[in-house]
Amino acid sequence: MSHSHLVILTDLDGTLLDHRTYSWKPAAEALHECERRKVPVVFCTSKTRVEVEVLRRLIGNSHPFITENGGGVFIPHGYFPHRIENAVTVKTFHCLALARPYAEMCEALEEIAGESGAEVVGFHQMRVKEIAENSGLKPKDAELARLRDFDEPFFFAGTTPRAEQRFFELAQKRRLQVSRGGRFWHLHSGSDKGRAVRELLQHYRHGHNKIHAAGLGDSENDIPMLAAVDHAFLLAGPSGGHDPQVVARVPRITRVDAAGPSGWKEAVLSLLES
**Catalytic sites, residue numbers:** 11
Ordered DSSP codes for 71-96: TEEEEETTSSSS--TT-EEETTEEEE
> How many of the other CB atoms lie within 10 Å of CB of 56?
17
Contact criterion met (CB below 8 Å) for 236 and 258? yes
Q: Are strands 65-67 and 72-76 parallel, antiparallel or unpaired?
A: antiparallel
Reading across the β-sheet that carries 177-180, which strands appear in turn? 120-122, 152-156, 185-188, 177-180
Contact criterion met (CB below 8 Å) for 187 and 178? yes
Contact criterion met (CB below 8 Å) for 241 and 200? no
Helices (H), the chain: 28-36, 49-59, 102-116, 128-135, 139-145, 161-173, 193-205, 223-227, 244-249, 260-273
* Whole-angstrom distance, CA of residue 147 vs CA of residue 139: 13
Q: Which residues pair with 24 in a beta bridge?
A: none
Ordered DSSP codes for 108-128: HHHHHHHHHT--EEEGGGS-H
